[in-house]
Structure 1
Amino acid sequence: MPFDDDELEEFYRRIESRTEAANARPRRRRRSVPPVQFTCPTPEKIAYPSLAAVTGAILAIAGQSRSRPSLRSYECVCGAWHLTSAIPRPPGSR
């Protein structure tokens, strides 16, 4: 059975009053989490969490590439592992 005009109007009034009451209640705000201080000198590079993870990435890239790029990994000062195609430098040189 369809609504008549009075019933429909009453229905809309109830919805509007619920919406108004919900908007009047104070909302709980989420606490903002401070950003992690990531002190990587090369933040544009992908940071792998372990040697195994970066080795897996090297194998995956080598398996997909026809040219087989010469990639190696290194542990960064930030504690993560990165990929590079650069030739390794002797220790202590910059």
Structure 2
Amino acid sequence: MPFDDDDLEAYYRRVEARTSANSSRSRKRERVVPAVQFECPTPEKIAYPTLAAVTGAILAIARQSRDRPSLRSYECKCGSWHLTSAVPRPYR
């Protein structure tokens, strides 16, 4: 049974109403970047806001890589977290 013009118009109005309601919601979470306390000495590195975020990045890299690089994280003096493959230095 085909649609008549009134049914088709009502259908399009329902679709447009649902589409406009969905477009007003944000689909992605906004990345929260902490306020930088000091200037970063390594601005070329990705700055992760939390330890959990950098740990997630390490796990994701380890899942994708066959040779599994030895990565660790460290808290920078700028307040962010970075990845490195360097051996940890002893504290002085």
Q: TM-score range by the shorter chain?
A: 0.5 to 0.7
* Alignment TM-score, normalising by the size of structure 1: 0.58
Displaced runs of 4 or more, over 2 A: none
Letter of the structure 1 residue corresponding to residue 76 of structure 2: C
Identity of aligned residues (%): 84
- Of the two, which has the highest radius of gyration? 1
- Equivalent residue, structure 2, for 1:75: 75
Q: Name stretches of at least 5 consecutive residues in structure 1 with no aligned partner.
A: 1-35
Letter of the structure 1 residue corresponding to residue 40 of structure 2: C
C-alpha RMSD of matched pairs (Å): 1.6
Matching of residues 1-94 of structure 1 within 5 Å = 39-92=39-92
* Alignment TM-score, normalising by the size of structure 2: 0.59
Alignment size in residue pairs? 57
Q: Name stretches of at least 5 consecutive residues in structure 2 with no aligned partner.
A: 1-35
SS at structure 2 position matched to 1:82? strand
Larger RCO, structure (CA 8 Å, separation 6 or more): 2
Report how far residue 38 of structure 1 moved. 6.0
- Deviation string, structure 1 residues 11-33 (Cα, Å, up to 9, x no partner): xxxxxxxxxxxxxxxxxxxxxxx
- Deviation string, structure 1 residues 13-65 (Cα, Å, up to 9, x no partner): xxxxxxxxxxxxxxxxxxxxxxx896000000000000000000000000000
